[in-house]
Structure 1
Amino acid sequence: MSEKFSNAGSADIVLALCAAIHESKDYLSEVDGAIGDGDHGVNMNKGFTLASQRIDASSSFSDALEVLADTLVDDIGGSMGPIYGTFFMSLSENLSSSDEINAKEFGNSLADAAQALEDLAGARPGDKTLVDVAVPASEAFQAAEQRGDGFSSCLSAMAEASEAGWKSTEGMQARLGRAARLGERSIGHLDAGATSCNVILQTMAKEISAKLQG
């Protein structure tokens, strides 16, 4: 198993993210409907579908991430477009100079992207947002990499932490956004942004692992 994957020609990873959001769109809106506007799946699917139509399938991972980021910022309404756009643009910029992407490079880029997302969203872990997925997932990846685990094992650690972070939002009280108005009534429901973030990170882990297995 390889410990790195080629940046060139890896746009298929990003196209898989777009497909995963499309497949999850109804569930995302269902989750959002419990304590939000109920349109998270519709908005996310709009942006990711548009991006999939604009991405050159033969392009690099970082270039495809840039197209996705630009599309989300320009074509999704509300706060989620800029938030996710910032996340993917940070990943793209950090990885654009790499011909081959290894665990250390990916982990550092993921950490920067999670921090950028946290800063823009104005959220911290425990606020019942996608930060409750992105931050622990990033930290788990880096912890595994610093232990000397292989790239694939780091991705597994990321996926496990992402899933746990997503599920943890069910027991949290919302501190930000529309759901915060519900106070304690927001407890007992999953957060929609955390749900889509988990879909994205699970898919990314699966697709990059497949690249490593070659």
Structure 2
Amino acid sequence: MTTVGTATLQDWIGRFSAAVAEKKDWLTELDSAIGDADHGANMSRGMTAVVEKLGDTAPATIDELLKGVGMTLVSSVGGASGPLYGTFFLRTGMTAGAVAELDGAGLAAALRAGLEGIVARGKPEAGDKTMFDAMAPAVEVFENGVQRGIPLAEVAAGAARAAEAGRDATLPLVARKGRASYLGERSAGHLDPGAASTALLFDALAAAIAGDS
């Protein structure tokens, strides 16, 4: 696969929704240690709403697809997750544009725009113990892989591994953003739930691009 179309990206969304539903209790358990204990439930509710709204037929253009995902998340997910994930998908869709497919460079640019949307909204930095710690390295690996001409499925798999490594790297960190930051040193020793769901996001993207069953 050298390009991704609306059907592949809708498959991505469906796979992410299924992964969030499967890991809902785990995500909530992570959030119960350092947050409001609602990340899993909120994300599962939001992604279920997304899948229901999309239905079985992919929209004609990528911007319509991803902007629809973003707006649904903003309206249906509470806490910080809705606005942050919503912004990610809105910016990704806006940058993708009214096209039916993207090549690797186009998808990399769209993902970068999504990350920059999260930065603009939440002002996270590396080491803050947030979803940024998983997403930023994933996007960077995706961009670098595309620039080096690596096959798209391998690029996406590498980005997923980078997101997982970024998630795991939040374990010893002391949170500097969000509810977890109120705990100070006690936030160390726990995975960040937003980074955990972000790893699921990139794993789902890799699986959709690879066409895994």
Q: TM-score range by the shorter chain?
A: over 0.9
Alignment of 1:166 onto 2:193: no
Please name the residue that 2:117 is paired with: 116
Unaligned runs of 5+ in 1: none
Unaligned runs of 5+ in 2: none
Q: How many residues align?
A: 211
RMSD across aligned positions (CA): 1.7
Question: What's the TM-score once normalised by structure 2's chain length?
Answer: 0.93
Provide the C-alpha distance between the structure 1 equivalents of 2:43 and 2:8, rounded to a whole number of angstroms. 25
Superposition deviation, residue 83 in structure 1: 0.7
1:34-62 Cα offsets, whole Å, 9 max, x none, are 11111111111111111111113211354
Q: How does 1:26-65 map to 2 (within 5 A)?
A: 26-60=25-59, 61-65=62-66
Question: What's the TM-score once normalised by structure 1's chain length?
Answer: 0.92
Deviates more, 1:168-177 or 1:15-24: 15-24
Give secondary structure in 1 for the equivalent of 2:74.
Answer: helix
Please name the residue that 2:77 is paired with: 76
Please name the residue that 1:198 is paired with: 199
1:53-87 Cα offsets, whole Å, 9 max, x none, are 11132113543322221111111122211110000
Letter in 2 for 1:201: F
Letter in 2 for 1:12: D
Superposition deviation, residue 9 in structure 1: 7.1
Deviates more, 1:110-119 or 1:59-68: 59-68
Superposition deviation, residue 11 in structure 1: 2.1
Give secondary structure in 2 for the equivalent of 1:98.
Answer: coil
Letter in 1 for 2:66: L
Provide the C-alpha distance between the structure 2 equivalents of 1:198 and 1:68, rounded to a whole number of angstroms. 18
Please name the residue that 2:147 is paired with: 146
Alignment of 1:101 onto 2:102: yes
Letter in 2 for 1:145: V
Provide the C-alpha distance between the structure 2 equivalents of 1:100 and 1:80, rounded to a whole number of angstroms. 27
Please name the residue that 1:13 is paired with: 12
Give secondary structure in 2 for the equivalent of 1:84.
Answer: helix
